[in-house]
Amino acid sequence: MRKLRLVLLTCAYLTASLVAAIAIGQDQANGVAIGLAAFVGALGLCFAFHALIAMALDNARLSLEIGAVREANLILADQLEKVDARVNEVVETVTRDARQRSEELTSEVHMLEDAVQQMSDRLEAQLSSQVSAARGGPAARGRSPQSHALLDTVRDALADNRVDLYLQPIVSLPQRRTVFYESFSRLRDETGRVMMPAEYLSVAEPEGLVAAIDNLLLFRCVQIVRRLARQDRKVGIFCNISLNSLSDESFFPQFLDFLSANKDLAGALIFELGQAAFEQRGPTEARHMARLADLGFRFSLDKVIDLDLDFQDLARADVKFIKVGAQMLLDQLEETEGRLIIRSLPDLHAADFARLTRRYGVETIVEKVESERQIVDILDLDMAFGQGHLFGEPRAIRDAVLAETDPPVDFVQQSILRRAGAR
């Protein structure tokens, strides 16, 4: 557009110069020379005049652009001030929230520390009296020196907090994605050697020490679930709870108070007890299970050996999972009249068992899966979850999860060890 305007102005200047030159040339004798000179002079004057006008226009346009830049700069400075104020406000909010969360976390750690300390004090008194009685009682006189030594090792492991938490994955089928963990307790002797339950249960059970181990495991499970929740890990943990823990009128109220303060963990913590224990529960145990269910916690049955279950009773007790051994389940299968059935449920097609349990809100977990061949048969039964060494062995919490959790876990554990050592 600017070029076109320049061409048109040039043509106008030429025309005006020619007209002026012709007019001057008609009155003079040497008209051609004078007209040419007049043409050139007029053209020069026109271009000079145009240059002056163009310069004035450019200066005006430049002034407008400078004014626009200054205005934009003022707007930008104003926006920067607003952004800076907003950033300061966000920093203050984050700092205030972090301080508040830190105070809440400190309060929770102190509460957990106090709860564990109270249980530790009661445990030490119980252990001392039980071990003293065991050493001097009739049972002690019939116990071998090896049993005495093993009992002392168990007692020392509990008193010194050498009770480790192990986790084994529970996976979805057929994807094999870890969706839960089951927790196990392991004791360590003074040399650090891990003691398996089969080794110490024979002496711990008669002395009532298994309940103490279970109670410590319950607290550890809640600790780990809390840490996983803070890491936004959507993984649940199955934690064994014994009838002794459910019926302990001194331990259970304390534990229930602790869970009430942490009921947001209800979706991630599943309490597990054996089928035989579930069927033997009395009014006290049933009442305490109902109180846990009121907080939103769920239950699971393991060691299931009889598949002819009362599913209505399971639903009333908020049992949401049952665990069935892989080989036990496969051994129950038999073919009759062209149908694959479960021996203890002859009227039910084997593939319909999982659908039956889901109708009552119960999922079946096939545990102790050891081979790929078992998986093929299990998938034919429409089972949704599997557990066993095929998917992963139990691993110590300090190796598998503790490195990813928050410092308060170490703080509580060190506090227990420090206090135990002081005594």
The arithmetic mean of pLDDT across residues 286-308, rounded, is 93
> Who's near 341: CB < 8 A, 6+ residues apart?
333, 334, 335, 347, 348, 349, 350
Q: Which tops the pLDDT comparison, 370 or 101?
A: 370
Q: Which tops the pLDDT comparison, 390 or 399?
A: 390
CA torsion sign, 173 to 177 to 180 to 185? positive
Does residue 163 contact residue 216 with C-beta atoms inside 8 Å?
A: yes
Cα–Cα dist 300/312, whole Å? 14
What integer best gives the mean pLDDT of the chain?
76
What is the distance between the terminal CA atoms of the chain, rounded to a whole angstrom?
A: 97
pLDDT digits (tens, 9 = 90+) for 308-342: 999 999 999 999 999 999 999 999 999 888 889 99
pLDDT over threshold 60, residue 83: yes
Domains in the chain, CATH or no CATH each? 108-422 (3.20.20.450)
Task: Indicate the DSSP class of residue 404.
Answer: G
pLDDT digits (tens, 9 = 90+) for 181-190: 998 888 888 8
Rounded to two decimals, what is the model's pTM? 0.62
Q: What is the pLDDT of residue 409?
A: 38
Give me the percent of the chain exceeding a pLDDT of 70. Answer: 69
Q: Say whether 388 sits in a helix, a strand or coil.
A: coil
The arithmetic mean of pLDDT across residues 245-271, rounded, is 86
Nearest CA to 404 among 229, 269, 178? 229
Cα–Cα dist 74/257, whole Å? 60
Cα–Cα dist 64/73, whole Å? 14
Q: Is the peptide bond before 174 cis (omega within 30 degrees of 0)?
A: yes
pLDDT digits (tens, 9 = 90+) for 15-38: 766 666 666 656 555 555 565 656
Give me the percent of the chain exceeding a pLDDT of 90. Answer: 29
Residue 416 binned pLDDT confidence (cut-offs 50, 70, 90): very low
Residue 411 binned pLDDT confidence (cut-offs 50, 70, 90): very low
Residue 203 binned pLDDT confidence (cut-offs 50, 70, 90): confident
The arithmetic mean of pLDDT across residues 399-403, rounded, is 44
Q: What is the pLDDT of residue 238?
A: 94
Does residue 269 contact residue 221 with C-beta atoms inside 8 Å?
A: yes
pLDDT over threshold 80, residue 101: no
CA torsion sign, 176 to 181 to 183 to 189? positive
Q: What is the pLDDT of residue 291?
A: 94
Query: Beta strands of 234-388 (E only): which ranges?
Result: 236-240, 269-274, 298-304, 319-325, 333-336, 339-342, 345-349, 363-367, 385-387
Q: What is the pLDDT of residue 417?
A: 38
Q: What is the pLDDT of residue 206?
A: 74
Does residue 210 contact residue 130 with C-beta atoms inside 8 Å?
A: no
Cα–Cα dist 165/220, whole Å? 7
pLDDT digits (tens, 9 = 90+) for 207-231: 767 777 777 777 778 778 877 777 7
Cα–Cα dist 218/271, whole Å? 9
pLDDT over threshold 80, residue 139: no
**Structural tokens at position 16:** 């005006």
Task: Indicate the DSSP class of residue 142.
Answer: T
